[in-house]
Structure 1
Amino acid sequence: MIDLLPAPAVCIQLGQRLRALRLLRNLGQAELAARAGCSLSAVRRLEAQGQGSLELVVRVAQALQAAEGLGMLFELPALTSIAQAEALAGSPSRRRASRRTAGAPK
């Protein structure tokens, strides 16, 4: 369902999840910031607006012991052949462009 939301809404939703996980771990924002090696304002902005660098997200996820979920973020599908990839993509078979012969009109 998250792929149907606009990017800012996804960021806000992830910030809300971050806050819920932090509270579940019984951590204050200041303690999380210290564990993640970032500023308190960065944690507040990440929770409230879903704004922060990718490095900040990784640091906070590691501090919350939730970095395992990041492994699937840009995971490539396991494919065994080019034919299988083409079948999944619904693309036609690969074809080469024909060569032009010398002196042929362009």
Structure 2
Amino acid sequence: MAAPNDLQQVLKPFYQRASEAEDRLARLEAALASKQDAGNEELLKMVSELQSKLEAVKAEHVSEKQKASEEVKKLRVENEKLQYRITHLVRALKEADSKSAS
């Protein structure tokens, strides 16, 4: 019976070292997990900031597009008015030329 007891005494330091190694491993895993969580939080924060900036840029783009559309409408109306005036001025000029020629 002395042999199993001696074997336990011989293996006791190995069990202790194995237990300490498991504890260190658990602490390292916990530290790694917390760093990954912190990294993930930073990434999530960055993604949310980028999304909010994207939304702001989209809103600004829509606003600029509406302003440009309104400006195009105004320019079309102005162009039509000017073409109308040109048509009448050309007609009046032709009439004046024909009157002066006769």
Q: TM-score, normalization: structure 1?
A: 0.20
More helix by share: 2
Q: TM-score, normalization: structure 2?
A: 0.20
Give the greater-gyration-radius structure (CA): 2
